[in-house]
Amino acid sequence: MQRGSGTQAHRVHLPELNLARGQVVAITGESGCGKSTLLEALGLLLAPQSVAQYSLDGVDIAALLAADDQPALADVRARSLGFVLQSGGLLPFLNIRDNINLPRRLSGLDSKSDHVDRAITALRLEPLLDQLPQALSIGERQRVACVRAIAHLPRLILADEPTAALDPHNARQLFELLLSLVDELGLSALIVSHDWQLVDSFGLPRLNAVSVAGETRFEPTF
């Protein structure tokens, strides 16, 4: 994947990664090294320049990218991927309840779900369900985004700094909840984080960024 051009160009390269169900991997590296770009490429929000192999939940993503099959790629994004963006990414015209339920509705699933209810309770979101996103703090919006990301039971959760706006107590609580849900529900997750201490405290395997001459390679440490 490449962003920019000429002297501003920066390439991001992931040589190999295999994620098992229930596995959570942290992506670490210096600011600006391409961690978010990697997530956006894996999340099919950016088109990689070349993909040797990419399969997800039995779907050959590399073939869909090569064929530029946009309807099929959109279906994969809707059903198999869950996103937690740095900004939260909540829709401002929907209340919190409807924001959380949106991925389930788009996937044709019932709005009632035990694992969603448990996450809402654990993150103390019940009093906020009827409010609009602009009434929430940044930290509250991030907690909502995490619940929304797992609502439709995606195969892969992609979280970009989900704890950046949280205090240490809530950051740890959110990490614990994500890891618990990923394990319990048989999902997988890639989490970008600058909080190396928090990552290490949970013993998470890492993809470490190694940047040389305008290119960042993400090397697994497991």
pLDDT at 132 over 80: yes
How far does CA 200 lie from the centroid of its chain?
19
Yes or no: say if 189 and 199 are a contact pair by the CB < 8 Å rule.
no
Residue 15: which of 176, 170, 219, 222 has the closest Cα? 219
Element containing residue 169 per DSSP (H, E):
helix 168-185
Determine the Cα–Cα distance for residues 6 and 10; give it in Å rounded to an integer: 9
Q: Which CATH superfamily hosts domain 2-92+154-220?
A: P-loop containing nucleotide triphosphate hydrolases (3.40.50.300)
Pair 110, 152: CB distance under 8 Å: no
Domain positions in the chain are 2-92+154-220
Residues 150-206: pLDDT tens digits? 999 999 999 998 888 788 888 898 888 889 889 989 999 999 988 888 999 999 999
Query: What pLDDT does residue 2 have?
Result: 63
Place of tokens 């978010």: 36
- Please tell me the predicted confidence (pLDDT) of residue 48: 77
Instruction: Quote the pLDDT of residue 155.
Output: 94
pLDDT(219) > 70: yes
The answer, yes or no, to whether residue 126 has pLDDT greater than 80, is: yes
Where is 11: in which H helix or E strand? Answer: strand 10-13
Which residues, in sequence order, are bridge partners of residue 160?
A: 192
* pLDDT at 53 > cutoff 90: no
SS3 77: helix
Tell me what the pLDDT averaged over the chain comes to: 88
Per-residue pLDDT tens digits for 83-112:
998 777 899 999 999 999 999 998 888 888
